[in-house]
A and B are shown apart, each in its own frame.
Chain A
Amino acid sequence: MARRKRAARPPRLALGTIAATGLILSGCGDEPATDAVYNTPSECAASGVDLQICEAEYQQALQQHLQNAPRFDGQAACEAEYGEGRCLSSGNLPGEQQTDGGTGSFFLPFMTGYLVSSAIGNLSSYAAYRNYRSSPSYNYSAPIYQNRAGQTVTSATQGGQRVSRPVNVNTRTVARSGFGGRSSGGFFGG
């Protein structure tokens, strides 16, 4: 066949069906996200997680943040991206958090919170946490900060560049049913 207008491989369904039985469809190995965002270790502990775990994870997130957050040579450049008063200099960090001693200081966005996975939030004791942390399934709590638009983001590496990506955070809903009111006909496709 010289030309072919159809895809070489037949379409498949990852879930086998479009009759969505559950409301959550996740890729293989993905847990439905029930992760929680806390601004501080004490807020984390107040939600019922062991305080020691909350503190250890906060430090983990902070270390990750220092390693992975976008870096800027000057405060102005950083603030242009993340907003006024939202950046700090690595030189101002307490010694134990310095990851980059001697190579000169840089600016990075403030970490405003961290995303604690449900796997960690459900651990019953610090001892269980220590075990979990040495297991291959351990994932550190992701550092959270805000971009200029007020969007909650975390750091990721993309093509060798440090970039910010939005994440879903927990909040409190104050109203619903503000869309869909014109749906009495019940059909919108066309």
Chain B
Amino acid sequence: MMSSGKSRVKMRPPRNRDSGDVNFDDSWGILSTAMQEMYRKNASRLSYEELYRTAYTLVLKKHAERLYNSFKTFVAQHLREIVSSELASLASNTTNSLLTSTIGGGGLTSTIAVPLAAADKREGGIRFLKAAKAQWDDHCLCMRMISDILMYMDRVYCKELQLPLIYDAGLALFRDQVIRNNEFQVGEHIYAIILDQIQLERDGDIVDTSAIKATVLMLESLTEDKIDGETVYSRSFEPKYLRSSVEFYTAEAEKLARECDSSQYLIQAEKRLQEEYLRAMSYLSVTSEPKVTKIVEENLITKNIVSVIKSDTSGLTFMINNDRFDDLKRLHRLCKRVDPEKTDLRSALMARIIQQGGEINQNALEVLKHPDKSKGVTAQNAATAAAFKWVEEVLGLKEKYDRILNETMDSDNQVQTSLTNAFSSFINQMNRCSEFLSLFIDDNLKKGLKGKTEDEAEAVLDRAITLFRYITDKDMFETYYKTHLAKRLLGGRSISDDVERMMITKLKMEVGFSFTTKLEGMFKDMKVSNDMMQDYKVHVQNTDPERTIEMSVSVLTSTNWPVSLSTIESHTCVYPTEIERIKRSFEKFYVDRHSGRVLTWNPNMGNADIRVAFRKRKHELNVSTYAMVILMLFNDLADGESLTYEEIKTATSIPDNELIRNLQSLAVVPKTRILTKQPMSKDINPTDRFSFNVGFESQYIRIKIPTVAYINKTETDSERKGTMDKVDELRRYQTDAAIVRIMKARKTLEHNILVAEVTGQLSSHFHPDAALIKKRIDAMLEREYIERSAENRQVYHYLA
């Protein structure tokens, strides 16, 4: 292979390599002529091999720097010629008016005024964009070819010195010599045209988006030197575009606010957002999309949303009242865009709910104060009616907002929280909410649910529970519920045990086991009593078979039942002797079985069936225990004799209020007038005289004589005060217990933390206020459950 190598003895000089030089100007002449040919689109006649070799040789002979600079000078020169010969003239021919009108300030708005010019302008502008784009395409093609022939220089010289590669340098030249040409700013011209086209499109014209798209792509491929990721688009065009967008949307926001109602406003705003999004995505840059969207949001939503919501004629209230769900949906969507917290919408919603709730509260109180007599609402059941009205309205409101939430706001959690807060707020503003709710349940359990299926009953109870959740003072509710339950149980008024238990279970699920233990205890007492009465009956048959009077006793654990039922003093009563004897026999029977227990009789809760012989016929009367005691006084009197109030009182020792109530039901209520009263008035006075009404008639044999006490009545003010006091007392105990529980577990605790923990423990029952807790802490200090730390007065220690 090396035929010639062997013959040589002396060192073989490399062929023409470093020794011979090359004439730069000759070589550059070849290359520059070729470049001109490329611009003339004659590249296919050129020999790549020759051009590459020429450039390669120049680089190898260390002329790279000159070559690089000559290339740049050549291309720059060429581009300048193109600008002056092709673009500048085109611009002056076709778009003169455009430039003056848009660049000369205020052009954006004035363009609308000249509709005829629009078409011309549009076409002239587009023509210019296309011309610039064509030059750009040619340039890119030539740069690709030049970088092909100068590839060796790219590899060796540019890389080593970290200069821009030929192609990139070519693009940078286009940027500096064309787009930012000193004499004719092609760039500015292009920006003005694009902005103008955008303005036209915003005004409803149709524009040639493909030309703009191509131009934008060009601007995006022109990168800025030394700034990473920045392009001519992002540095030069985008700021102008955003500025013009701000101008447009500031004006647009004002215009819409002036011309549209809230619903229209929302539709327009959403439409604009969609338009800008599509514009950015289809022919501007994806990177501009968030920026311009922000501008639209800022101007169309953030600035005006409050007035849109608050508009009297078409705002939020209007939408809610008229079930404008589409509008609400839109409103929520737009609010969410600008403010993830949706503060404005939520506070408006809350305000509206609290307002409506306040009205409901007011209505209920109105009913209470001025019962509608015409509809047969008596003062006595006015409370029930008010409670019913209130509960139904609150639930109705709740359902409405639930629907709004689910159907228009995607069950938005934050909105839901606001709704809950709003409901909770106005419900608890109503200081009788616990009582009303309990009354509502009571009424349903006594009659409302009669004949309903289990599912229906459950639905009603569930609604009640919904309301129950909002109530903060759950202990208050418990007190009322207990009272009402006690009356239902003892009076045998409950329609179904199953429904009662269902309610208890639901409560248990809501607030836990401890809340319902006492309620369950009440049920247990009733069952145990029933069983015991079976035994007692057997016992009586064995010991006293002659007895004609039957007695049934419910033995109640005093702690489980409402306090009012178990206080001794208020329930004194002297029983007739035969009754007294039976009572004793039961007491003996009971104490024999459960030694050490004390029985206290509560005649106010009892009732009796007695048979009375009137002139016409005998009737069976169902009366309260007190009424029985009163009536039995008349057994010993002859016909026509009478007793005064005082005499009755002395004979029976029944407390005044009970006596008055029972006498009212016996002597005043027309249908059950067993006694006649002198004088015939509604009120009972100590001087009144009562006699047995022998002539009493009724179509029924069995007559139930209701006692005023057994009709559901709201408490009198004093009674309610009593309830409040009882609740307060209970709260004190609970607070004490909580303090001790916490301190026992933690041993040492700072005041603030203790307060916080106590609040936390109690909040499921009621909302404890700080003053109460502080007071109780003081009490616990006094009673030496805890002591203050010697070092820090703010710290407590638990004392075992």
Do these two chains really belong together in a complex? no
